[in-house]
Structure 1
Amino acid sequence: MAQRRSAGFWWLALLCAAYVLFLYGPVITIFVLSFQGPDGGLTFPMRGTSLHWYRQLWEGLGVVDIGAALRRSLLLGTVVMALTVLISLMAGLAFRKRFTGSALLFYTSVASLVMPSIIVSLGIGLQFRLGDTLVKSLLERLGATSMLESYTTLMGLFTSGLGAHLTWTLPFGMLIMFAVFNRFNPAYEEAARDLGATPWQTLRHVVLPMIGPSLVGVGMFGFTLSWDEIARSSQAIGDVNTLPLELQGLTTTVTTPAIYALGTTTTVLSLLVIFAALAGAGALRRRAHSQARAAA
């Protein structure tokens, strides 16, 4: 006979369902309302169904260039992802052995996780403004009048903006790699060296294939955290805006379901990145297992 569920199980199931609804209900609501007809509003009930607001989004929302903001966010997220993977990997390899100042370097690297994001953004913005003052003063002393007149600021998408995003993504990437290498068996590297492999060959043909799925996860974290970042971008991005900043600004000026269409589009792009990362990690894991079986 099937075992009957206790009353506690159903209460916990109800609590879990309420939590999932609370977590994903707003996203589902925005997704549904984005498909309203031309006369649709920002709340239920829906007034028809169509792709009207997606077409309007494609044509542009007033003076805001959504396409340019989207391209900037994609490009910045890709660069942040690549640097996060590379630096996290190097940090993971370096911290496998203790060295002078390793503890101080570690706590300095992850300190930005416990600092308010807006404070980090303000600090980076202030640093670059001080840099602007220094550059202008230097140009004045050198008498470079033409360069001084054309000079604007050191702040930008791939200077202050990139640095601000890396203060958010790198601690996560480093912590993941520390955990990966903490349980990595060095016997595989010793076996490769016994067979005559150089350090680079050991890294390329032994270490990287084994930690490949973890690197994909680090890359996914890097891209998605950069893609959604607002607070650290607000004071450090310069004279251009990323898509989240444009979306935040539009919430006060756009009063049509077009804002829901934009939110749905950005959410779908984030989900596509996550699914692609999961598929890539799974493919690397299956490849490593098949290679291990072939070697056996």
Structure 2
Amino acid sequence: MTASATLPIRARTAVKVRRAGARPWTFYALLALFVFYVLALYGPMICIYVLSFQDVRGGLVFPMKGRSLHWFVDLFTQVRTGDVKGAFGRSIKLAALVTVLTVVFSFLAGWAFRRRFPGDTILFYLMIGSLVAPGLVLGIGVGLLCNFLGIESSLFGSALGAQLSWTLPFGVLVMFAVMSRFDGAWEEAARDLGASPLQTIRLVVLPILLPGIVAVALFGFTLSYDEFARTLQTSGPLNTLPLEIWSMTLNVTSPSLYALGTTTTIVSFLTIGLCLGAIVAIQRRRGGRAAGE
């Protein structure tokens, strides 16, 4: 067969190969659906971020008027926007306390549920039952219970209990998943070497479970930091940041709201980044030790 006769065959073969590698129409349909989903999810957030950097002439809608940090400064002047600085500080303190308690109780619950005991199934469902209860109703219930017990509604009293009813179930579920991968042989090896129970937990168990504990802390902080429904009926006279944002929507009609949304998002991303960075650093440190051995 001559070279001229083989050219059409090669061309047809190349077309078949291209057709074989072509994606079906369903791929493009699903891709379009995914792009629409991403735009619907992040589009409003991006609009808020952009509009928060307007100058003093700025409004709540496009087109954007100038560029400046005016509304971020206005946000903390407490002239028109309320006590944002105080609410932010209270939210951080409350979230830090909730995080510590969530980590401690989640670890203790995960450690206790390693072995079966009478009533463990009932206790487990009682722990996670608050996930299916409406947050606003649960907050009202916690507030009524505190009033019945003589506990005054406050951020570090009834609001703390209401938020723990939200963060603890997530922390317990994450800790259960972490504990399920814990090898009891490490614990036995520590005991064989003469370690006491407390030394085993401090020197063996906690370092091994540290990435999971960081994940529990991340859940506790982020869920508490932006919790609204369970805090509304239990916070008392002082507002957290979500409650302050809600009150601002009633009387503030300026891009200060957008600046506040941008600020809270930055704080959330910084927290997530710190936790993920800590997990990566722990894993690299372990990998370095393993390689050194």
Unpaired runs of at least 5, structure 1: 133-152
Shift of 1:61: 4.4
Measure the CA separation in 2 of the matches of 1:185 and 1:41: 58
Shift of 1:98: 1.2
Q: Show the counterpart of 2:251.
A: 253
| Cα deviation 1:52-71 (Å, max 9, x = unaligned) | 11111121242721111000
The match for 1:218 among 209, 216, 219 is: 216
Q: Which has the larger radius of gyration?
A: 2
| Cα deviation 1:96-138 (Å, max 9, x = unaligned) | 0112221221111110000010111000111122233xxxxxx
Q: Show the counterpart of 1:55.
A: 73
What is the percent sequence identity of the aligned residues?
50
Shift of 1:188: 1.4
Contact 2:91 2:241 in 1 (8 A): yes
Provide closer, same or farther for how the CA distance between residues 186 and 96 of structure 1 changes in structure 2, counting only shifts above 3 A: same
Q: Show the counterpart of 2:105.
A: 87
The match for 1:197 among 195, 198, 205 is: 195
The match for 1:66 among 84, 97, 117 is: 84
SS in 2 for 1:73: helix
SS in 1 for 2:254: coil
Shift of 1:154: 1.6
1:130 maps onto 2:128 in alignment: no
The match for 2:34 among 12, 16, 30 is: 16
For the aligned residues, what is the CA RMSD?
A: 1.4
Provide closer, same or farther for how the CA distance between residues 292 and 189 of structure 1 changes in structure 2, counting only shifts above 3 A: farther
1:104-143 to 2 correspondences below 5 Å = 104-132=122-150
Moved more, 204-213 or 216-225: 204-213
Contact 2:75 2:81 in 1 (8 A): no
SS in 2 for 1:251: helix
Provide closer, same or farther for how the CA distance between residues 25 and 268 of structure 1 changes in structure 2, counting only shifts above 3 A: same
Q: Show the counterpart of 2:164.
A: 166
Contact 2:130 2:166 in 1 (8 A): yes
Q: Could you tell me the TM-score, scaled by structure 1's length?
A: 0.89
Question: Aligned pairs, how many?
Answer: 275
Q: Show the counterpart of 1:36.
A: 54
Corresponding letter in the other structure for 2:176: F
Measure the CA separation in 2 of the matches of 1:91 and 1:207: 14
Q: Show the counterpart of 1:229.
A: 227
Moved over 3 A (4+): none
Contact 1:113 1:168 in 2 (8 A): yes
SS in 1 for 2:251: coil
Measure the CA separation in 1 of the matches of 2:252 and 2:154: 27
Shift of 1:291: 2.7
Measure the CA separation in 1 of the matches of 2:199 and 2:272: 30
Measure the CA separation in 2 of the matches of 1:293 and 1:63: 55
Contact 1:112 1:167 in 2 (8 A): yes
Contact 1:210 1:288 in 2 (8 A): no
Shift of 1:266: 0.7
| Cα deviation 1:191-221 (Å, max 9, x = unaligned) | 2222222222221222111111111011011
Shift of 1:289: 2.4
| Cα deviation 1:70-93 (Å, max 9, x = unaligned) | 000000000001111111011100
